[in-house]
Amino acid sequence: MAKELRPDDVLVQKSKNGDLDAFDELVKKYESKIYTVAYRFTSNHADANDLAQETFIRVYQSLGTFRGDSSFATWLYRIAANVCRDELRRQQRRKKVSLDEIMSHPGGNIYLADEASSPEESLERNELQRAVQKCLNTLSEEQRLILVMREIQGLSYEEIAASLDCSLGTVKSRLSRSRQALKQKVLGDRELSNIVARQLK
């Protein structure tokens, strides 16, 4: 029988007191989610692993400053977002972002979410993902970050606001602008337009 996970606040307090096993529990609980965020920015497994590891190193080093004003998860996402943005600034170049999950998010009104039922449809779906990915890569890091947090990770507006240290209104306006920017890129992409046209026949 799987061991029941303890609440975050208990694990955080124990970690602050030097309990490495408690901190290891926190890492195991969130490592896949943090890895996913990093991978959407790098599209590279090695880089994503490095960024996820760097995130948890910063978390451990900063545990003493965590006062519990927000949830541990929100605080963790804030650090992960900063790590990813720092890496993008260091690289000063855009990398591919995988959109395997963003295509199926019900909140995105420009994505096609139906599961492919034939090899032909599967091919079309893969082409669509690749084309939308290309459009997403042209957005700014802030636009990509907020789209990843909302459309891939499914964070609430409140969680995003806490993670990015901004107001709820700012999150909504940034997200709206980011979606509109991506939509314009999509509509202006000839390859993507052709794929959509074929699917609508």
Predicted pLDDT of residue 134: 74
User: Can you list the alpha helix ranges (DSSP code H) found in the chain?
Assistant: 8-16, 20-42, 45-62, 72-91, 119-136, 141-147, 157-164, 168-187, 190-199
What is the rounded (10 degree) CA torsion for 27, 31, 37, 39? 130
Model pTM score: 0.58
pLDDT at 24 over 50: yes
Predicted pLDDT of residue 142: 82
Q: Where in the chain is the domain with CATH 1.10.1740.10?
A: 8-91
Q: What is the CATH number of domain 8-91?
A: 1.10.1740.10
Is 50 in a helix, a strand, or coil?
A: helix
Structurally, what CATH architecture does the domain formed by 102-199 represent?
A: Orthogonal Bundle (1.10)
